[in-house]
């Protein structure tokens, strides 16, 4: 049952997302766009201003009768968020992100072959260096990790980092004395679209291709967590029954056909222009996605990742494979697009998660 606290969280979330999309706007226009009463809008805006995440700007200069209205918007630099992206094969990325989803500072750190504790040590060092560089009060720390992450910020398993049951959230919170959100990388990419994306995203799937393949799901305007925080773990769905042996022991998993290092290698070895390699990989991804999209009636697909994944050829092949396997009712609406924030989407999504937590949104 919805409690008054649930309603408060939902209203804060709704207003903040509306401001990210439409701001700056007047309180009256916020009421119009969201369907909330003017009194509710005023109360929630005051609440968000107390948290220094929303600010009043000048008066509206738009014409019209009556006195000009005060405009409000996200206080982009009221607070900053320290973010880490641990999803790339060879490096960690650390950043300071503002509340409008803009990366203010970015640093990359060669991971070399660090795994286990050594990788955690590097994460903490990046945190210390960025805290020292922060020019605004920090709202919190957002970490996007590959693998399965639970609601308490424990990385349950991240094979490529050699992590099992690593309480990363608690460890960073203890060291830095800041709220910490740890989120799966694909979920972070999905949250970036949900929170800061240009289009209102009620339902979408964000497929992240890096060292592995994962997906983040937004359903009915919320990130979907699933039963065991393993939503979107599509990398080990078999797409080629007699294919290559996968790290998991099976043959022909999606990850044996589509992953960033593997595709980079195949493109390098390709005698042609790489088109066939990209088409084959895109088709395998589309094949794996067709059933998921059909079952959920989701037609908005965002591809996140660099290299092969960011090419038009790969996107078109994935779209073609989905459309060929799904009902026209889905295929006709299907959009397969690049991430709104390009290569920063995972970082920006980690910031979105911190914003959610601090606003009390689950």
Q: Which is nearer to Zn ion, 27 or 208 (CB)?
A: 208
Binding mask 227-246 for Zn ion (x = CB under 5 A): ---------x---------x
Q: Minimum Å distance from CB 254 to Zn ion?
A: 8
Q: Minimum Å distance from CB 253 to Zn ion?
A: 3
| Number of residues engaging Zn ion in binding (CB under 5 A) | 5
282-341 residues near Zn ion, rule: CB under 5 A: none
Q: Which is nearer to Zn ion, 239 or 351 (CB)?
A: 239
Q: Which is nearer to Zn ion, 256 or 311 (CB)?
A: 256
245-274 residues near Zn ion, rule: CB under 5 A: 246, 248, 250, 253
Q: Which is nearer to Zn ion, 257 or 345 (CB)?
A: 257
Q: Minimum Å distance from CB 224 to Zn ion?
A: 23
Do you find a cis peptide bond into 303, omega within 30 degrees of 0? no
Q: Minimum Å distance from CB 260 to Zn ion?
A: 16
Q: Which is nearer to Zn ion, 244 or 273 (CB)?
A: 244
Q: Minimum Å distance from CB 214 to Zn ion?
A: 13
List contacts with Zn ion (CB under 5 A). 236, 246, 248, 250, 253
């Amino acid at each position: 049952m919805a409690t008054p606290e649930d309603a408060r969280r939902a209203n804060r979330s709704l207003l903040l997302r509306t401001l990210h999309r439409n701001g700056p706007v007047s309180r009256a226009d916020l009421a119009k766009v969201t369907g909330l009463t003017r009194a509710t809008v005023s109360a929630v805006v005051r609440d968000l201003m107390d948290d220094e995440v929303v600010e009043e700007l000048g008066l509206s200069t738009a014409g019209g009768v009556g006195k000009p209205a005060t405009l409000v918007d996200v206080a982009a630099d009221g607070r900053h968020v320290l973010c880490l992206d641990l999803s790339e094969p060879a490096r960690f990325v650390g950043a300071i992100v503002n509340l409008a989803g803009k990366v203010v500072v970015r640093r990359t750190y060669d991971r070399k072959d660090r795994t286990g504790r050594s990788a955690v040590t590097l994460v903490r060092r990046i945190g210390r260096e960025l805290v020292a560089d922060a020019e605004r009060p920090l709202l919190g720390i957002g970490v996007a990790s590959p693998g399965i992450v639970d609601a308490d910020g424990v990385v349950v398993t991240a094979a490529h980092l050699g992590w099992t049951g690593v309480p990363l959230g608690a460890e960073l919170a203890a060291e830095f004395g800041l709220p910490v959100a740890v989120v799966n990388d694909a979920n972070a990419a999905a949250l970036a679209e949900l929170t800061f994306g240009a289009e209102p995203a009620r339902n979408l799937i964000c497929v992240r291709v890096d060292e592995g393949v994962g997906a983040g799901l937004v359903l009915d305007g919320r990130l979907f967590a699933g039963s065991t925080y393993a939503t979107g773990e599509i990398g080990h769905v078999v797409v080629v029954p007699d294919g290559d042996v996968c790290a998991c022991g099976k043959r022909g998993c999606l990850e044996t056909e589509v992953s960033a290092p593997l595709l980079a290698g195949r493109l390098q070895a390709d005698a042609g222009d790489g088109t066939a390699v990209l088409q084959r990989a895109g088709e395998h991804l589309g094949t794996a996605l067709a059933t998921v999209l059909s079952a959920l009636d989701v037609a908005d697909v965002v591809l996140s990742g660099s290299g092969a994944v960011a090419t038009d050829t790969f996107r078109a092949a994935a779209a073609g494979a989905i459309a060929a396997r799904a009902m026209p009712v889905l295929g006709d609406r299907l959009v397969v697009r690049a991430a709104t924030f390009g290569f920063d989407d995972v970082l920006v999504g980690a910031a979105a998660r911190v914003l959610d937590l601090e606003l009390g949104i689950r």
